Amino acid sequence: MKTLINPLLNRDMSLLAFNRRVLSLAMREDYPLLERLRFLSIVASNLDEFFEVRMEAQLEAFSGRRADAGVTAHTFTMVSAEAHALIAEQYRIFYEVLMPALDVQGVRLIPSEARTPEQNQFVQEYFEQNVRPLLLPIALDPAHPFPQVANKALNFIVELDGVDAFGRSNAVCILRVPRTLPRIVRLPDEVSGGKQCFVLLTSIIRTNLQTLFPGRNVMHASQFRVTRNSELEVDEEDVSDLRTALRQELVHRQYGQAVRLEVSHTCPSHMAEFLLKQFVLPELALYRVNGPVNLGRLIQLPDMVDADALKFTPHTPQWPLQLTGEKSSFFDRLKQGDVLIHRPFESFEAVIDFLEEAVNDPSVLAIQQTIYRTGDDPRMLNLLKDAVRKGKEVLAVVELKARFDEESNINWAEALESVGAQVVYGIVGLKTHAKMLLVMRREGRYIKRYGHLSTGNYNPKTAKLYTDIGMLTQDVMVTREMEAVFRHLTAQVPLPRMRRLLTAPFTLHQAMLRYVRRASIAASRGKEAYIALKMNSLTDESLVHALLDAARNGVRIDLVIRGANILPIDDPRIQGRIKLRSLVGRFLEHSRVFWFEIDGYQRVWLSSADWMSRNMFRRVEIAWPIRDAQMQTYIWQKCLLPYLNDNKDAWVLAEQGQYHPLCVKHDKSACAKLSSAQEQLMKTYQEKDTKI
């Protein structure tokens, strides 16, 4: 392997750069105002997860308690500085751009100093009737030590003057903001002056804090919130019941190691230092925010406002064109050939209807499905339960360790087991991330298999928000190999030799390396070689090195990487042959497409996996081939080319890991002349111009 002139990019800095790109959507004048606020809130939620998952190791290194390769005190300092800058920019946009613009449109988030007497009266009555009964200040003293503070729970720290009921001068109280109360309250129309006015719960509490401490003076008060490491630590080799162990561990997630402390920007230094000491955090972990702590909660506001003009025009996914025409059985249609479903432009409802037909078809004997992230829509769960009641064999491979969906998946598993479904939890040490649904149907003397494969989850809600590609098929080899994967997951028997599916942790990584190297060898011999890859993240070092070597040998490479990326393009030997772009827009880009053209032949794969070491070696993943020439053309024209031509939503990677937007000015007049892949695809599918 050749030595890189330039080091690989830092993954965490790349993740923060992705969130900066998402934050840029809050500044887009061609986007409706409430949607811009929504993107601002999404960044806040993304950063919560970033701290919960990525910062513990760096904090440990900074504190001298850990010394892993690639994790140093310097990286914590570097990442913290970028996080501080990103959060400061987030609050600047909130106060200087979005709030004034929304005010002009008649939508106001009113602070205490701007409320009218009538509004103050409503706030006081609301506090007395709905809030005060749930507030329990804790005065700190030897009998009342600093309380346990849960992950991301919002609190006030209050400094008091005077003495308590027992004549003691305990000066500090901690007040938890109840999670059961709405964080945003709409003021009645009669006190809103013709506008839609809202107040934050924290503002209501802050206004009435003094009433909670009769006989004492509130000297200072500040909101604060601590973010904790939220990775679950379950030794799968040492537990007899993974589901029970995970449910117990979920309780402890709320109290993992603290990694970030947020306080109001007016918080006095001595109070901030007191909190840092309580949570054993360095000063770099302190984030003073100029506004409400936790902007993520403001994602509720767009749905509370009555103003369609300030929101995106609702997008209605189209019924898949390959399934239109006279209503017929999915099984009959699939005998004519495979069906691709490109969501959210085409409807995920087709997959639910496919499952429903299988459940209600007396000839169907068995249904097998992987479950990773399903959301709160109960329809697929209810259909699987109905299948059990109708006497069908139902197997659900439920991934209990899907991060932040553990409890939901445990509930799914218990609900399915309660009616007699066979539920397994995959393989010890691996997450089952593959997306598969297999139906076995008796047809004459034989059992026929029908399958659905997908790059994304079986989640009806996110299917309307994420771009993904699914395929319905009755291909004999593909469906037999799907069955082999399910048997591998249940009985843990070795996989047979697979002629269609690539699987992780066995063949997927090797196959991708092999195709990249074939392209590299072909280019070095003067033959045409081209690679196009679309995925969420590119962080596997061996695959990145292979791509760089291929580019040096003359391979043209187009990369569409939404988020984390460690591949640099600074090496002068690449000579511009690698072009890497990231697209952020109305929908979250989530589909994975691997395209290889090598000396006249073409190979195309769709997959549930990103090019990350975790996907390649610590997860059960699949990639399936698109072999039909017409379907390959469809994938190129609908799933790759629009993104390679996008000059409206695209950001391009430049030297030193910096991303630059192709469209510098995002006002309505400038953007009307540009090409957006997502907007083009919405229009194309609405016009039903998607023939294969």
Indicate which residues carry an active-site annotation: 433
- Do residues 385 and 371 touch, judged by C-beta distance below 8 A? no
CA 648/CA 642 separation, integer angstroms = 11
CA 27/CA 411 separation, integer angstroms = 40
Structure tokens belonging to residue 475: 């291909």
- Do residues 564 and 537 touch, judged by C-beta distance below 8 A? yes
Using DSSP bridges, classify how beta strands 339-343 and 466-473 pair: parallel, antiparallel or unpaired: antiparallel
CA 58/CA 83 separation, integer angstroms = 13
Structure tokens belonging to residue 452: 């659905």
CA 370/CA 366 separation, integer angstroms = 14
- Do residues 16 and 83 touch, judged by C-beta distance below 8 A? yes
Structure tokens belonging to residue 491: 């009985």
Task: Name which of 426, 373, 417 is nearest 397 in CA terms.
Answer: 426
Structure tokens belonging to residue 552: 């040096």
Q: What is the amino acid identity at position 68?
A: D
Q: What is the 3-state secondary structure (H, E, C) of 59-77?
A: HHHHCCCCCCCCCCHHHHH
CA 430/CA 105 separation, integer angstroms = 51
Question: Which helix (H) or strand (E) segment is 101 a member of?
Answer: helix 99-104
Look-up of token digits 């002629």: 499
Look-up of token digits 């399936």: 624
Q: What is the DSSP letter of 565?
A: B
Look-up of token digits 């072909």: 522
Using DSSP bridges, classify how beta strands 286-289 and 258-264 pair: parallel, antiparallel or unpaired: parallel
Structure tokens belonging to residue 403: 């991060």
Question: Which helix (H) or strand (E) segment is 42 a member of?
Answer: helix 33-62
CA 670/CA 357 separation, integer angstroms = 48
- Do residues 455 and 530 touch, judged by C-beta distance below 8 A? no
Sign of CA dihedral 607, 613, 614, 620: positive
Question: Which helix (H) or strand (E) segment is 601 a member of?
Answer: strand 601-607
3-state secondary structure of 313: coil
- Do residues 266 and 254 touch, judged by C-beta distance below 8 A? no
Q: State phi, psi for 306 to the nearest 5 degrees.
A: -95, 90
Structure tokens belonging to residue 232: 């679950």
Task: Name which of 605, 404, 436, 392 is nearest 509 in CA terms.
Answer: 605
CA 398/CA 413 separation, integer angstroms = 7
Structure tokens belonging to residue 688: 């039903």
Tell me the residue length of the chain.
692
